[in-house]
Amino acid sequence: MSDFPDFDFSDLSEQLISHLNTPTDKFSVDRFYRLLIDLAEDKTHRNMLEKALVTTKLTNEPSLKTITWQKATTCLDEPEPVLDFVLPGLLAGGVGMINAPGATGKTNFLLKVLISLVLEIPIHDAWKNEKSGKVVFLAAEDPDDVLFLRYKAALKTIPKLTEKQKVLLDKNLHIASLTGRFPKLLTAEHNEVLHDPFWINFIKEITTDVRLLVIDPIIRFHSLDENSSIHMTALVEQLEAIAQKNNCAILFTHHANKSSSLNGTSDIQQAARGSSALTDGIRWQLNFVTMSAAEAEKYVGIDDIERKKYVRVVFAKTNYAPPIEDIWFYKGEGGAFKLANLIFDEQAEHRKDIDRFIKNITRSPVTNNKKKGDNW
């Protein structure tokens, strides 16, 4: 390495990225620099490489000139800014999470959300849609054929979809499968978090002029330790940097932990798998809860099989909005969500009281076999 070529190392990352042909050809520029540093025998060359690494590392730190300092005179004299909510409680430029056990219907639910945002219609007929815009859905688990079927099922829930609306969806709703492409934004090496410039730049580019990006699921977009607060904080910070740069809301899906499903606590913030830093770092969280057997007894005509098609959507965390009421949905044809039409069973509690009364009076009497003089 003593005859190391003399050129501008600070621009090396751009040169490397420009030569990448497909996502599978990617490699970490950070790791590439470190390899060269290890191989460099000359101290001057090592110093040049270390400087280049610092220059090109994707820390996403904003310039100090862009920081806004709040002032009392401004706060008191100027009108209050109108918060731009993409979804109820989820701000543009913010990061949120949908947390649920597997096979709950997160993907189907989100596809209908994206359709509603593009067409500027009420979201799932339950929430207002304040503003339409471009949206992107990146699936890293479902292949193209499965996405096709899910999208078709979601489209069928829109009554009388016009040709004009179809054209608008093709223009502003972008759905793609990244299955098999290893879209890792962040990786870990010797407990150090490394940023992959190829995929980070890819996300930055596709979120330009986009209202909402959905990542499904987040575990496929990193190779970090889910139980590490440092790693999960770094993941949230990276997503925040992209969201803030493009004023685009980023929403990712995540799996609930097993204990919450077993203990009936799937509706709380802490139901998310892994480090609590993930939930603590985001500003918005939606939980999906499948109807339990106890809940099914409160409604008319729901047996143990049918109840599994009902999902309660819980706003577990909304930092920038008041509490939002839970809503029940029913998974119909193709897994498409629609508002549930539940009829409360007014006699359910009365029947329970009768059952308890019958059990009490039919219970076998306790026999006293104690003999005189027994002290036990």
Q: What is the DSSP string of 158-217?
A: STT--HHHHHHHHHHEEEEE-TTS---SEEEETTEEEE-HHHHHHHHHHTTT-SEEEEE-
**Residue located via tokens 């819980």:** 314
CA distances from 322 to 89, 130, 318 (A): 8, 17, 7
Question: Do 151 and 268 lie in a common domain?
Answer: yes
Question: Do 22 and 115 lie in a common domain?
Answer: no
Q: Taking the CB of residue 190, how many other CB atoms lie within 10 A of it?
A: 5
Tell me the residue ranges of DSSP E strands in the chain.
85-87, 90-91, 95-100, 135-139, 173-177, 186-189, 192-195, 212-216, 222-223, 249-255, 284-290, 310-318, 327-331, 337-339
Question: Do 173 and 309 lie in a common domain?
Answer: yes
User: In this structure, is residue 354 part of a structural domain?
Assistant: no
Contact status, residue 333 vs residue 316, Cβ threshold 8 Å: no
The DSSP secondary-structure symbol of 270 reads: G
User: In this structure, is residue 210 part of a structural domain?
Assistant: yes
CATH number assigned to the domain comprising residue 259: 3.40.50.300
The stretches of 28-97 forming alpha helices (DSSP H) are 29-39, 43-56, 72-77
Which class for 45: exposed (0-12), middle (13-18), buried (19 or more C-beta within 10 A)? buried
Predicted local distance difference test score (pLDDT) of residue 364 = 55
User: In this structure, is residue 363 part of a structural domain?
Assistant: no
The DSSP secondary-structure symbol of 341 reads: -
Question: Do 143 and 225 lie in a common domain?
Answer: yes
Question: Do 166 and 259 lie in a common domain?
Answer: yes
Question: Do 200 and 109 lie in a common domain?
Answer: yes
Helix (H, G, I), strand (E, B) or coil at 286: strand
Question: Do 27 and 117 lie in a common domain?
Answer: no
Helix (H, G, I), strand (E, B) or coil at 121: coil
Supply the range of the domain harboring residue 209: 92-339
pLDDT in tens, 310-330: 999 999 999 999 999 999 999
Predicted local distance difference test score (pLDDT) of residue 326 = 94
Total domains present in the chain: 2
pLDDT in tens, 25-51: 334 555 555 555 555 556 666 566 555
Question: Do 136 and 34 lie in a common domain?
Answer: no
Ranges of the chain whose pLDDT falls below 50: 1-13, 15-27, 55-60
Q: What is the pTM of this model?
A: 0.77
User: In this structure, is residue 375 part of a structural domain?
Assistant: no
User: In this structure, is residue 81 part of a structural domain?
Assistant: no
Predicted local distance difference test score (pLDDT) of residue 347 = 73
- CA–CA gap between residue 304 and residue 306 (Å, rounded): 6
Contacts of 368 (CB under 8 A, 6+ apart): none
Question: Do 153 and 221 lie in a common domain?
Answer: yes
Q: Whose CA is closest to 327, among 282, 283, 286, 293?
A: 286
Question: Do 41 and 118 lie in a common domain?
Answer: no
- CA–CA gap between residue 371 and residue 351 (Å, rounded): 42
**Residue located via tokens 């597997």:** 102
User: In this structure, is residue 73 part of a structural domain?
Assistant: no
Question: Do 103 and 33 lie in a common domain?
Answer: no
Predicted local distance difference test score (pLDDT) of residue 336 = 84
Question: Do 43 and 101 lie in a common domain?
Answer: no
